[in-house]
Amino acid sequence: MRKRFFTSFLVGFLLFVAINLVAAHLLSDCGLPSVFGMGHCADDITRAGWPFKFYEAGGFAYHRDFNSPILLLDIFIGFGLAIVSGFVVRRLASRKENLLEK
């Protein structure tokens, strides 16, 4: 049971990280390379965060906005999604085992 919970927890958390990377790619002007400092656009604005944007930097008149409470909220939501997915998979697996025993 613990192995199933941990595996589904890990899958849920990795899904959240993947969604954040896709969101950073779509929200940033030059895509994901600009998030990692490899973008070469003229007016490159980098944005990160899903469901809430916690980082924005760039532009001709350079500005930088980093909001750590929003980052913590995003991390909390990610762990919440991972925990819920772990409990759901564990519950479904135990129901399946109970049905097979009967």
What's the pTM? 0.78
Neighbouring residues of 37: CB distance < 8 A, sequence distance ≥ 6: none
Higher pLDDT, 102 or 32: 32
Structure tokens at 26: 């779509």
Query: What does the pLDDT average to over 73-101?
Result: 85
Mean pLDDT of the residues in the chain: 86
Q: How far apart are CA 56 and CA 46, in angstroms?
A: 5
Query: If you average pLDDT over residues 13-25, what whole number do you get?
Result: 92
